[in-house]
Structure 1
């Protein structure tokens, strides 16, 4: 068996991509309740519902996304998912009410 160094290019790429993925997830998880209370003026029950939908969508879609990445061409899939990030997050600035946040947040964690 050939010894390969642990700190190679692929390992660092996975580490950095995981770091930025989870940094984005936890930043959104923290700022979403503040946005809902300050801007949309919703109560705690509705905030709990929005956060529940966000976390459940993340848990359900991550295994499916892993299977889709393995099924599709990895390089093309990376480019297709990397470049449309700003258009996916821009609708959050236009959200007038809480129920409309749920489909947008589900789309964030599923892609």
Structure 2
């Protein structure tokens, strides 16, 4: 089952990435979940650079909805310091609920628009 779940997410991820791309004016907010943490990066795909990033491991908090929301706020704070106000959201093949939704809501509360 794990192989099918992983291949399903990667198939969805390829479809999403064919439709969206980050530019200098509107970079891509990409997320990644693991069993130990959640990571968020703001990426400029035209140059291939990560502009800013945040993760739940920086604070040492447990992986739950509250820590995911804090990661979203932290990445939004770093983005505003870098002069970024609008992004394209890349859920990376994950379903938009739970931790992914909490991170997105935290980023919106922090001032990012997507």
Higher helix share: 1
Q: TM-score, normalised by structure 2?
A: 0.31
Question: Larger radius of gyration, structure 1 or 2?
Answer: 1
Higher strand share: 2
